[in-house]
Amino acid sequence: MFGRGPPAYAVVVELGVFDQTSEVIRARAPDHLGELRVRAHRRGVKIWFETDVPNKEHYEAQLLSRHYVDGVDGMALEIGSEAWIEPDLDDPELAFEIAARLVDYLLVIEPARS
């Protein structure tokens, strides 16, 4: 009748990490890639270009159950096609590391898409 409730890590995650990530992305993404759109939410951040709403082709970092990565209990941070196992969400550098990785994806992939 009742679900198991939110994953244990959901109560630990603060929006601040992904808000910080979105601000760093806005500061580091080059203008020549197009009109950047960034949306932070409590479990991640999504980046896309030009349209007001995200389209199928977007960039994302999100927290997910580690079960989907390697079948083990816990948490993972998925960035593009890679997973960071059990990231330290209290690490003050985490937002910068996530943003740097996403901007790397933007710099490599967006020119090829144009």
Contact between residue 21 and residue 45 where contact means Cβ atoms under 8 Å apart = yes
Provide the edge-to-edge strand list for the sheet that holds 82-85.
36-41, 44-49, 59-65, 75-79, 82-85
Burial of residue 34 (CB within 10 Å: 0-12, 13-18, 19+) is middle
Pairing status of strand 82-85 against strand 44-49: unpaired
67-89 pLDDT per residue, tens: 999 999 999 999 989 999 999 99
What Å distances lie between residue 61 and 41, 101, 102, 105, CA to CA? 10, 9, 8, 11
26-68 pLDDT per residue, tens: 999 999 999 999 999 989 999 999 888 888 889 999 999 999 9
